[in-house]
Amino acid sequence: MRYRYKIAFIMLAGIALGAVATKALHAQAKAPTYVVIAIDKITDADAYKPLPAKGRAAAETAGGRYLISTGNITRLDGRAPERFALIEFEDVAKAEAWYASAAQKEADAIRAKSTDSAAFIVEGIAR
């Protein structure tokens, strides 16, 4: 009789382990979300100066990770922006929460006052 209980316990443990592993694999396959910020032109260089530090701090506080932040852009065709940033978030909800945060609103006010720019959220491809 003890043998049957051991087999039953091992089977249940295997099922539980399989469920946990499947959940972890599904979590890894989740598509990341990106915020793209393209600054076409800096219209007020003095007002713009605090923006990179404030923007980075707001994103990192909200769980974002800067992948690109540069002014070194080589145009292939069309019009290239003067500066470009790409910020990765875990999902759209976190990106939207970052955008609605007080710290980001302060950074956006500086960006709106000192640049001609656009910012938008895009969903990536699951890895």
pLDDT (tens place) for every residue of the chain, 127 residues total: 566 655 655 665 567 556 655 665 555 567 899 999 999 999 999 999 999 999 999 999 999 999 999 999 999 999 999 999 999 999 999 999 999 999 999 999 999 999 999 999 999 887 6
Q: Which pLDDT value is given to residue 31? A: 85
Beta-strand pair 83-89/65-70: antiparallel
All structural domains of the chain with their residue ranges: 1-29, 33-123
Q: What is the 3-state secondary structure (H, E, C) of the chain?
A: CHHHHHHHHHHHHHHHHHHHHHHHHHHHCCCCEEEEEEEEEECCHHHHCCHHHHHHHHHHHCCCEEEEEECCCCCCCCCCCCEEEEEEECCHHHHHHHHHCHHHHHHHHHHHHHEEEEEEEEECCCC
33-123 under CATH 3.30.70.100, yes or no: yes
